[in-house]
Every structure is written in structure tokens, then in C-alpha cells.
Amino acid sequence: MWVERDVPLAMSDGTVLRANVYRPLGGGQYPVLMSYGPYGKDLSFQEAYPVQFAAMVEAHPEILEGTTGKHLAWEVADPERWVPFGYVLVRVDSRGSGRSPGFVDCFSPQQARDYYECIEWAGSRPWSNGKVGLSGISYYAINQWQVAALRPPHLAAICPWEGVADWYRDANYHGGIPSSFFPRLYGVQIESVQHGVGSRGRRHPHFGVLAAGDVDLDENELMANRADVAEELRQHPLFDSYWQDRSADLSSVEVPVLSAGNWGGQALHLRGNIDGFTESASEHKWLEVHGEAHWTLYYSAYGVDLQKRFFDYFLKGEGDWPDEQPAVSLNIRYPGEVFELRGEGEWPLARTSWTKYYLDVADHALSLEPADEASTISYQPFGAGVTLMSPPFQEATEITGPIAAKLFISSASEDADLFLVMHLYDFDGIEVLFEGASEPRHPLSQGWLRASHRELDLARTLAHRPAHSHDKVAPLVPGQVYEVDVEIWPTCIVVPAGYRIGLSVLGRDYDHGGQGLPTAYGVEMRGSGVNVHDDPVARSAAVYGQPVTLHSGGQHASYLLLPIVPPA
């Protein structure tokens, strides 16, 4: 293939971004697959992420069949796999990152406009057939939603593989509770390849290219050339124009969509992938949900085949994608990381039997009938919380879809952070954990709500999906009982006969209690990955560490709403 490095892409404000272009040999016009982001187009996957790379190829050795792997980069397509299929790959370093100069402002309107201009540049090249598709994981998926809403004329299809749509609710303020994930990632994965790190950064082991540019800027210059993400998040605790500008307007997304999510993508991408499917305006859209780690299946034979059939149809006019691909393709999950691929026609599934399990805090139970007698239990939010258990299931039972909880709570302070955790327990009462997108020992599902953010957006709220406006704070009166609705993120599990489900109500992140796994982000993975909520100022013990009381029975019929799916 032809490889052109640092191809200049002049933006309308005069900034010149740099791209790598990988093309089939010879003449002709081809569809384009593009990615645009801050992780370094010339940063070697194997060198920068050796642990993840080793785990990926061990699980899926076919990833290195027919490729040297020299052109692999984190969370974007391998040109050696795709160019032989008759595609041009264009990999762009976003403004201020890698080998592109400028100011780093992730998911800003400026970056979305840049992406629009890059798409239009690629769609008008002599080697392009005029159709551009977008491909990539995580960051490279999130900004697909954003730019698709701007409707670039040459954009023909998008495949956001595990990507947030709502930058506030999906990633940074879960239920209004601030997460420290993105500021940590920003320092490790984005600042390290900021344009101007230059010779202090990594050099590609095969091509000798400095991933962060040839210019060496001092630390003050680098700081002046990037947004202070941690400070910006602190300054915007409510959903305002800052978040609106950095979240996709899904109602304006009309291009064909293949949205690929991960059952283990709690606290990051799964919610966005499902919302992208249900809320985008496209007449041609598909949802696929899988398991395994965040970055693996995209590169696997399964993932490449799925993407290729989609892009072949919409970028080349080849194949029978709409006839052969169900609207919803779910890898139904069983304990032990066993999956069974099944096609469905919609989300949530039309045959769902929405089933209420009522909380009985007196007996620490989840019951199909509400308790007549009122009861209460108090817990220390930063402690063990309260866990309630269902009876053993009498037969194998599938739970697939969104989950909601209605709770009645009171607090000793003017606010309370509610962390809800769904569990699966085996015959012996031992919790069954799952491989998450970025956490190898994850609970069944999780949900969050800051009680002062309890006001619902009634126009968007559904019984199985409470939606909160997050635009104002309504403090609690200590001791007063409040009704709150909590969104618990979608999940999928076939519960074996004899197993139980559980619900924990906590005031802190879930911790499986076992040995934590180290990360590069300054936090151990202990069941919640790196998506933790540990800001000591935003979650002060004086407010959020005070006793909370959970009410059930009588006039306070708290319940968990589960999507039980009968056989088709």
C-alpha cells in the first residue's frame, strides 16, 4: 500500500492538521475510513499499550494474520487489514495532539468542526469515491456522534464502537455524581502525546517518527496549549451549555449507523451506544452489543467481519447488509463469559416482562410482593451499605435490558449520593463477576444518583428509564423522606436456576473486596475500573458521609424494575 505521512489538512482558521493516508497501490477511487483523535497517529499500539496488546492477540490470534502489525495504533483500524479490502484509511491527529499543532480542547465544537472539514477534504480527493465512513473505539467513537450531527455531505456511514453520546451523563457526572475518570485519562493518554512534547515523547520503533511532533515546547507552553479538564469539570457541576456543546445532538444524526456496545461498558460507553441507536434520527441504524475487554473485538475476525459488511454496503454498494443483519444483534451473556449471538428487532425487547422486585429492608430481601409493614434501615454511606437478595430463581431466567429503581430515602444531611449495584450470586452465595470493558471483575450492573439532582425530565422519562434534567440542585431537608428514581444501566444475563440476584445501596463505588489490580491512572481496579467517584471536595464526608435511611413497605413501596425476557 501507499503510505503518506503528515499530509497537511488546512482548516478554515488557518491551522494545519496532519494525517496519515494509507491507500491501495495503483489508481482508482475508493471509499475512505477515517479517524480523528488525540492518542497519536504515529504511536505504536504494541509499545504504548503492551499489556493490552498481549492480552488481545492471545484471545484473538487472528488479529495478526495477514498484517505485520507495524501500523497498528490504539483504538483505530489497522490499515494492513483494511486497505486490501479496497479502502483508503485516513488517520488524523486532532488539533493540538500528536503531530498537529493547536489548542487541545477535547470534544469541543472546534474539534467537531475540524472533523467535519477533514471528512470533506477526504471525500473530495482524487483517490476517493466520495464516500467517507468513520471508524474507531472510545474517543474515536464519541466524536463520530458529534460530527455526524453536523451532517458533512461526504459522510456516508459511522460505526461508533463503544462510544459515549452524552458527555455529562455517560462519562463525567453519573447521576450528577462527579467521576474522576477523564481527568486521569487526560493526563496519562492525551497530555503524553500533546503536540510539543516532541523528543521527550515516544518515537515509533519501525518508522522513527516522533509521535508528539518534532517541536519541543516547555511545560508552561504545553499547559497554555491545552484545556484544564479537571478545573472545567469542577466549574460545571450541572448540565449547562458547556456539556451541551460537548454532547451529540442525536436527533440530527441521519447517516447510517452501526452502534457497537459492550455489556461491561458501565460508567462509560454502553449507555451512549444504546442511546445512539434509539435516539438517532437515521432511518438506517443497527445496534450490536458484545462482551470482552474494551479494545479486543473491534480488531477480531468477528468485529472486522461485522464492520466490513456494514461499510461495504453503505460505502461500496456491495452485499446485502439490510437483509442479513437484524436491527439489534445481542451477544446474550451467561455466567463464565459464555455468549450466544441472537438477533432481535428492537430495543428494549418488545416481549419484555417488566417485573418489580420490592425492597423489604427488614428481611434484606427482594420480593415479588410489596411488604405490608413499613420498615427502615440506616447505613453509613462510605461503609458496607445495604444489600438485599432475591429468592433463588426456580428456572433459568433471562434479564436483558434497562433497569430502574424507585427508592424512598432520607438523609442526615442536605444531600446523599446513591450508588446502586446489581449482583448475581451462585448456589453458594458467592458473587459472580464479569469481564468489564476496562475492568476484569465487574458486577452485573450499576446506577447512580445524587439525591439533590432527583428532578426528572418528564418529557424523556420512561418507567424503565428515568431521565434527570441535572440543571438545578434541590437540597434535602435532613430527616425528610424523598422519593427518588434511579437509572441502572442496561445489562444482560441468563440467570441459572438456583442463582439469586442482589441489589446493594451504597454511598461509594462498588468494591469486590478482593485484590485490586494496578493501573497507570493512580487508582486500583477493584470492581469499578477507573470510573471512580473519589473527589474529596465534591464528595465531602461532611455532606455525603452522613447516615442515609432506606425506607420500604407500606406507603414507601421501593422496588427494582427488571427486564425479564421470555423465550422468543
CA distance 458 to 455: 9
Burial status of residue 307 (CB atoms within 10 A of its CB: 0-12, 13-18, 19 or more) = buried
Q: Please name the residue that has the C-alpha cell 497517529.
A: 41
pLDDT digits (tens, 9 = 90+) for 113-125: 999 999 999 999 9
Residue 438 is predicted with a pLDDT of 87
- The stretches of 297-399 forming alpha helices (DSSP H) are 301-311, 321-324
Task: Specify the length of the chain in residues.
Answer: 568
| Claim: this prediction has a pTM higher than 0.95 | yes
Q: Nearest-5° angle of CA 112, CA 145, CA 324?
A: 145
CA distance 17 to 35: 13
CA distance 521 to 525: 10
Residue 568 is predicted with a pLDDT of 83
**How would you write the pLDDT of the chain (568 residues) with one tens digit per residue?**
999 999 999 999 999 999 999 999 988 999 999 999 999 999 999 999 999 999 999 999 999 999 999 999 999 999 999 999 999 999 999 999 999 999 999 999 999 999 999 999 999 999 999 999 999 999 999 999 999 999 999 999 999 999 999 999 999 999 999 999 999 999 999 999 999 999 999 999 999 999 999 999 999 999 999 999 999 999 999 999 999 999 999 999 999 999 999 999 999 999 999 999 999 999 999 999 999 999 999 999 999 999 999 999 999 999 999 999 999 999 999 999 999 999 999 999 999 999 999 999 999 999 999 999 999 999 999 999 999 999 999 999 999 999 999 999 999 999 999 999 999 999 999 999 999 888 999 999 999 999 999 999 999 999 999 999 999 999 999 999 999 999 999 999 999 999 999 999 999 999 999 999 999 898 999 999 999 999 999 999 999 999 999 999 999 999 999 999 999 8
Q: What domains are defined for the chain?
A: 2-161+177-236+295-325 (3.40.50.1820), 353-565 (2.60.120.260)
Residue 380 is predicted with a pLDDT of 98
- b/e 60-69 (16+ beta carbons within 10 angstroms → b): beebbeebeb
Q: Nearest-5° angle of CA 177, CA 463, CA 437?
A: 50
CA 303 to chain centre: 17
Q: From the CB of residue 338, how many other CB atoms can be counted at a distance below 10 Å? A: 11
CA 228 to chain centre: 22
Kindly report the three-state secondary structure assignment for every residue of 325-363: CCCEEEEEEECCCEEEEEEECCCCCCCCEEEEEEEECCC
Residues 6+ apart with CB under 8 A from 333: 263, 291, 339, 434, 492, 493, 494
| Nearest C-alpha neighbor of 105 from the set 91, 118, 95, 93 | 95
Q: Which three cell numbers stand for residue 530?
A: 477507573
